[in-house]
Structure 1
Amino acid sequence: MASKESVCDSYLSLKPEKATIIEIIRSLFSSDLENERFIESSEEGKLERKWIILVSVIVQWVFLYIRVPLAKIGDVLQKWLNLISINGGLLMLFLNWLRGKVVEPDSLSSRSVLGNLDTRIELDKSIKPENTRYKAVLSIMAAKLSYENKDLVQSVVNHHWKMKFIGFYNFWNGYQGRDSTQAFLFKDTQSDPNLIVVAFRGTAPFNADAWRIDFDISWCQFNKVGKTHGGFMKALGMQPENRWPLELENDDQHSQFAYYTIRKMLKDLLQEDENAKFILTGHSLGGALAVLFAGVLAMHDCEYAWLLERLEGVYTFGQPRVGDEKFGEFMKEKFRNHDVRYMRYVYNNDLVPRVPFDDKALLFEHFGPTLYYNSCYGGKVLKEEPNKNYFSLRWFIPNRLNAVWELIRSFILPLVKGSEYREGWFMRLWRVAGLVFPGIPDHIPQDYVNLTRLGTLLLPKETPKVQHSE
């Protein structure tokens, strides 16, 4: 039974905001990182892989100082992508400008950069609630929609999906801004019983605080739970001094943190409808937050075991590693005891599921089976995705050959499967970039939407068992 006050027994906390450029340069030649003021650790004299720690600090420090210009670049790119889209293309935008009739996007027509890469908002109507694919298809569309603004999210849920929008939230997350942890809730009124979906937003391409979370290798070791990713935990709402109290002292504080706000919403909704269940989902960072939300619920099972009983499943797409082997065993036991499905989807050469590195020093590992799909959307249930740490010379040529095929496939797929699989010019630019960096375009939600609809892996109603290994 977990205690009411979950506190780190040991920890590593990186604080690049306290570092100066002089201190960072000096630390490159120092063998005593424990005394640097931007590194706090309970493991005095025991820090391993110091170069990995320094890389994490340096990358985060860079993101701190490019936060504002990066956000401005993103705003300009998003504005132009939306202008081009709503005016019917670059040529029509130019003609409308000459005539003084440029159409300006509003909140319902303005999409995020990722939304411009894959403009699909409709569910696949051929996949019904009784289909074993249904929750995966619904989950990835919700995870993709979580990158958008509130007005667009609400409109899509209510008017396109014919479901019930519940709430949209931005949270403070310990990384400067309030807009780095975002989530929304809705009720799938077409399922029986009604299903509540919680979708966490992943890493927004031009949000430096979100990228900081991804590159932060801070960790917390909780008694009986194991080591968890400190950066993701802070994004979810971990309190000062690395604490997860059962309740916050001030009720007004609950609305500032993702875990406490969403937990209260779920508590109220599930008490209103005794037959309802809920699922958690997210893409990229959002997937990490989804599984760690369930993890903190498990820490608090002294009071909230009944919520875990109502958790139908956790569906993640391109999720990074979130904890060590001990944490994985803790979660597998909790999921097994409460009959929770954990469906972790990985597409082809996606870089993000292969970080942070799985090595003896960092100890980050995935748990549970991997639902792995290749570039033809052929699926297997594996113990671990192939090329688990990505940077392998053996995979250098095969990865790039795969990227060539994905570019060719973007022209073939709509001819074979229908116009809804047509890719626009912006997505094809990313396919071209994939010839150099194959793991980047493979992370975009486009292929995760496709694999849930076209994938050859037919899933049983229960959590799939590992059938193959590589």
Structure 2
Amino acid sequence: MGHIDNRVELDKSIQREDPKYNVALSMMASKAAYENKAFIQDTVENHWKMEIVASGDYWNDYQQKATTEAFVLLDKSNKYDTYIVTFRGTELFDADQWSYDFDVSWLELPGLGKTHAGFMKALGLQKSNIGWPKEIKTNPNHAPEAYYFIRDLLKNHLNENDKAKFIVTGHSLGGALAILFPAILMLHEETLLLERLQVVYTFGQPRVGDGIFAEYMEKNLKHNGIKYYRMVYSYDIIPRFPPDIKDDLFKHFGTCLYFDRNYNGKKVQEEPNKNYFSLSAISPMTLNAICELMRSFAMVSRFGSEYQEGWVLRIFRFVGLVFPGAPNHLPQDYVNATRLGSIPSKVD
């Protein structure tokens, strides 16, 4: 991922008081999550001057190995401290992660509806204890499960600091895990954490559940005062999967922040062309891919050297001429959207 977008510095023009600060920081954290542990630590501590609270690989009970990755950083300020929980997206050459991306079988939980079983397994769904028990016995012979470890870590830190809050974020698969994390907090009635959860930002997030689950989340996010913003750039393929073609299949929920090719953002209920396979979208998607390829060579002159697009990304731009929307999923444009984009008001 670093060969596609090698930026590690935060945008210094976006100050902490800026409404774009949290979303811009969350996207940079989501991009950094693709790198190794040493890279993440160096970026957070030496470039961002923040603290790493936890970083590691987490256990998938169904795969019997640690295949889920996440880290937690601490952003201190004079007003209050903010913990940012960041889940990693799918590693390109990791077959284990791809296998649970494509595991679109249903997991049905009483009162919650149906959810994407593969994503739930990645988050820490128990095979031996069947489902989501509130507490599990720690197994010293393997890594901890992501949900249980991060939940307990946050509880310990937030109990020590009455003013601390936290944000959950992630790109792609990481975005799916980011919104499912509070869903299980709701299931377990984790009042303290739900009160301190400030906002959930996801970038290029796939659909994670059916219509009943979407209604459950809409109701409980509102009840707990939790903000949730799902960012979609242009014709990004992943937010349009799994497809929404019947009432009983996958549904998005929450506020969608949609950004066009010029990084103009607006709030919408659903991104345009909500399903990727649409005959009416072929021509505009192809035209968009051509314009993005041309834009790639003009970014530096328009916005400065930090927006330079290297040869790896330009190869993806060329791929987009054949498979429109594929390069739109890369973090590059999501970082650009949080920096250059017109973020709608009241997004923090």
Which residue is equivalent to 2:331? Answer: 445
Q: Which secondary structure state, in structure 1, belongs to the residue aligned with residue 343 of structure 2?
A: coil
Which residue is equivalent to 1:173? Answer: 60
Which residue is equivalent to 2:342? Answer: 456
The Cα of 1:231 is off from its aligned counterpart by: 0.6
Which residue is equivalent to 1:280? Answer: 168
Query: Superposed, which structure 2 residues align to 1:55-66 within 5 Å?
Result: none
Deviation readout 1:123-149 (Å, 9 max, x if unpaired)? 001101111101100000000000111
Are residues 1:186 and 2:68 paired? Answer: no
Structure 1 alignment gaps of length 5 or more: 1-113, 463-470
Q: Mean alpha-carbon deviation: is it higher for 313-322 or for 204-213?
A: 204-213
Q: Which secondary structure state, in structure 1, belongs to the residue aligned with residue 19 of structure 2?
A: coil
Are residues 1:244 and 2:139 paired? Answer: no
Q: Which secondary structure state, in structure 1, belongs to the residue aligned with residue 175 of structure 2?
A: helix
Deviation readout 1:256-302 (Å, 9 max, x if unpaired)? 2110011111011111111100000000000000100110001001x
Which residue is equivalent to 2:303? Answer: 417
Q: 2:122 pairs with 219, 225, 235, which one? A: 235
Q: 1:292 pairs with 158, 172, 180, which one? A: 180
Are residues 1:383 and 2:266 paired? Answer: no
Q: Which secondary structure state, in structure 2, belongs to the residue aligned with residue 245 of structure 1?
A: coil
The Cα of 1:185 is off from its aligned counterpart by: 0.6
The Cα of 1:191 is off from its aligned counterpart by: 6.4
The Cα of 1:378 is off from its aligned counterpart by: 1.1
Q: Which secondary structure state, in structure 1, belongs to the residue aligned with residue 149 of structure 2?
A: helix
The Cα of 1:438 is off from its aligned counterpart by: 1.6
Q: Is the 8 A contact 1:225 1:326 kept in 2?
A: yes
Q: 1:261 pairs with 143, 149, 154, which one? A: 149
Distance 2:323 2:347 in 1: 36
The Cα of 1:254 is off from its aligned counterpart by: 9.2
Distance 1:300 1:397 in 2: 47
Distance 2:306 2:78 in 1: 24
Which residue is equivalent to 2:102? Answer: 215
Q: Is the 8 A contact 1:163 1:190 kept in 2?
A: no
Query: Superposed, which structure 2 residues align to 1:78-93 within 5 Å?
Result: none
Counterpart of 1:136 in structure 2: which amino acid? V
Counterpart of 2:152 in structure 1: which amino acid? K
Q: 1:122 to 1:138 in 2, by over 3 A?
A: same
- Structure with bigger gyration radius: 1
Distance 2:64 2:277 in 1: 32
The Cα of 1:192 is off from its aligned counterpart by: 2.8
Q: Which secondary structure state, in structure 1, belongs to the residue aligned with residue 49 of structure 2?
A: coil
Which residue is equivalent to 1:161? Answer: 48
Q: 1:439 to 1:178 in 2, by over 3 A?
A: farther
The Cα of 1:458 is off from its aligned counterpart by: 3.0
Counterpart of 2:196 in structure 1: which amino acid? R
Distance 1:372 1:179 in 2: 34
Counterpart of 1:360 in structure 2: which amino acid? K
Distance 1:292 1:191 in 2: 31
Q: Is the 8 A contact 1:147 1:204 kept in 2?
A: yes
Q: 2:210 pairs with 310, 324, 330, which one? A: 324
Which residue is equivalent to 1:312? Answer: 198
Judging by fraction of residues, say which structure has more helix. Answer: 1
Q: 1:154 to 1:191 in 2, by over 3 A?
A: farther
Are residues 1:203 and 2:52 paired? Answer: no
Deviation readout 1:406-440 (Å, 9 max, x if unpaired)? 01111112111111111011111111111111221
The Cα of 1:177 is off from its aligned counterpart by: 6.2
Distance 1:448 1:433 in 2: 18
Q: Is the 8 A contact 2:211 2:247 kept in 1?
A: no
Which residue is equivalent to 2:246? Answer: 360
Distance 1:337 1:176 in 2: 35
Distance 1:311 1:437 in 2: 38
Q: 1:246 to 1:253 in 2, by over 3 A?
A: farther
Which residue is equivalent to 1:394? Answer: 280
The Cα of 1:361 is off from its aligned counterpart by: 6.8
Matched residues, percent identical?
Answer: 51
The Cα of 1:351 is off from its aligned counterpart by: 0.4
Distance 1:436 1:179 in 2: 35
Counterpart of 1:402 in structure 2: which amino acid? N
Q: Is the 8 A contact 1:170 1:178 kept in 2?
A: no
Which residue is equivalent to 1:432? Answer: 318
Q: 1:137 to 1:179 in 2, by over 3 A?
A: same
Counterpart of 1:249 in structure 2: which amino acid? K
Distance 2:230 2:347 in 1: 15
TM-score normalized with structure 2 length = 0.96
The Cα of 1:207 is off from its aligned counterpart by: 0.8
Structure 2 alignment gaps of length 5 or more: none
Distance 1:403 1:358 in 2: 24
Counterpart of 1:392 in structure 2: which amino acid? S
Q: 1:378 to 1:425 in 2, by over 3 A?
A: same
Q: RMSD over aligned Cα, in angstroms?
A: 1.6
Q: 1:130 pairs with 8, 17, 24, which one? A: 17
Distance 1:291 1:334 in 2: 12
